[in-house]
């Protein structure tokens, strides 16, 4: 049975890692958003990873495919706790996907997205989960 895992990528190699994992037959999810970029008095928007250096991979690690993930170009390793790769609950992936627009981008900068209820400097308390 496939479960979701979080892979840690090399710096700025999320898209490369995603492509290499797809080519190896894995289902890969890389949440992205449109990041505002300013350069030379010009502003535009570019796709950027929601979680820099991280992406999600669906795999059955009981079948011994973890090497296929960790040896893929662009991937550093799988996130693990106590030496074992930590599965990501399906509900988290579903919640992230529920906040994507029609183009598959997260809406976080325009006040309607998942982080719009927080402002820079707000204090948050994590009450459950791995953090």
Q: Rounded to two decimals, what is the model's pTM?
A: 0.80
Phi and psi at residue 123, in whole multiples of 5°? -90, 135
Number of H helices, E strands in the chain: 3, 10
Average the pLDDT over 25-53 and give the result: 92
Segment holding 37, helix H or strand E: strand 32-39
62-96 pLDDT, tens digit each: 888 889 999 999 999 999 999 899 999 999 999 99
Query: Residue 61 burial (CB < 10 Å; 0-12/13-18/19+)?
Result: middle
pLDDT value, residue 116 = 55
pLDDT value, residue 6 = 98
Whether residue 113 is predicted with pLDDT greater than 50 in this model: the reply is no
């Amino acid at each position: 049975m496939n479960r979701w895992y979080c892979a840690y990528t090399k710096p700025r190699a999320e898209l490369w890692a995603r492509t290499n994992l797809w080519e190896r037959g894995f289902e890969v999810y890389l949440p992205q958003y449109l990041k505002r970029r300013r350069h030379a008095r010009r502003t535009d928007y570019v796709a950027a990873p929601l979680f820099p250096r991280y992406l999600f991979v669906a795999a059955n690690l009981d079948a011994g495919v973890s090497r296929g993930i960790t040896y893929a170009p662009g991937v550093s390793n799988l996130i693990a706790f106590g030496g074992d790769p930590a599965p990501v609950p399906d509900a988290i992936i579903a919640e992230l996907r529920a906040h994507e627009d029609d183009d598959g981008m997260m809406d976080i900068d325009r006040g309607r997205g998942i982080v719009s209820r927080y402002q820079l400097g707000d204090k948050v308390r994590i009450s459950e989960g791995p953090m």
